[in-house]
Amino acid sequence: MILNNKNSKNLFNKAKKLMPGGVSSPVRSFKAVGGTPHFISRGDGPYIIDEDNNKFIDFTCSWGPLILGHNNKKIRESIIEVAKLGTSFGTPTKRENTLAELIIDAIESIEKVRFVNSGTEATMSAVRLARGYTKRDLIVKFEGCYHGHADIFLSSAGSGMATLDQPVSPGVPQSVIDSTITLEFNNHEQLEKTFDKFKNKIAAVIIEPITGNMSVIKPKKEFLKRLRELTIENDSLLIFDEVMTGFRVSHGGAQELLGIKPDITTLGKVIGGGLPVGAYGGSSKIMSKISPEGPIYQAGTLSGNPVSMSAGIAMLTQLKDKKVYKKLNEISDYLHDGLIKISLSHNYPLKVNKYCSMIGLFCTELEINNYNDISQSCVDRYNELHRYFLNNYIYLPPSAYEALFLSTEMKKENIDYVLEVFDGFCSNYSLK
- Which are the catalytic amino acids? 146, 241, 269
For residue 205, list its beta bridge partners.
140, 238
Inter-axis angle of helices 412-430 and 376-390, to 10 degrees? 120
Overall residue count recorded for the chain in this entry:
432
What's the rounded Cα separation, in Å, for the pair 292 and 301? 15
Strands 237-241 and 264-268: parallel
Buried b or exposed e, range 314-345, using 16+ CB within 10 angstroms: bbbbbbeeeebbebbbebbebbeebbeebbee
What's the rounded Cα separation, in Å, for the pair 103 and 146? 23
What's the rounded Cα separation, in Å, for the pair 96 and 296? 21
CA-CA distances (angstroms) from residue 288 to 116, 294, 296? Answer: 16, 6, 9
CA-CA distances (angstroms) from residue 188 to 96, 185, 215? Answer: 39, 8, 20
What's the rounded Cα separation, in Å, for the pair 384 and 391? 11
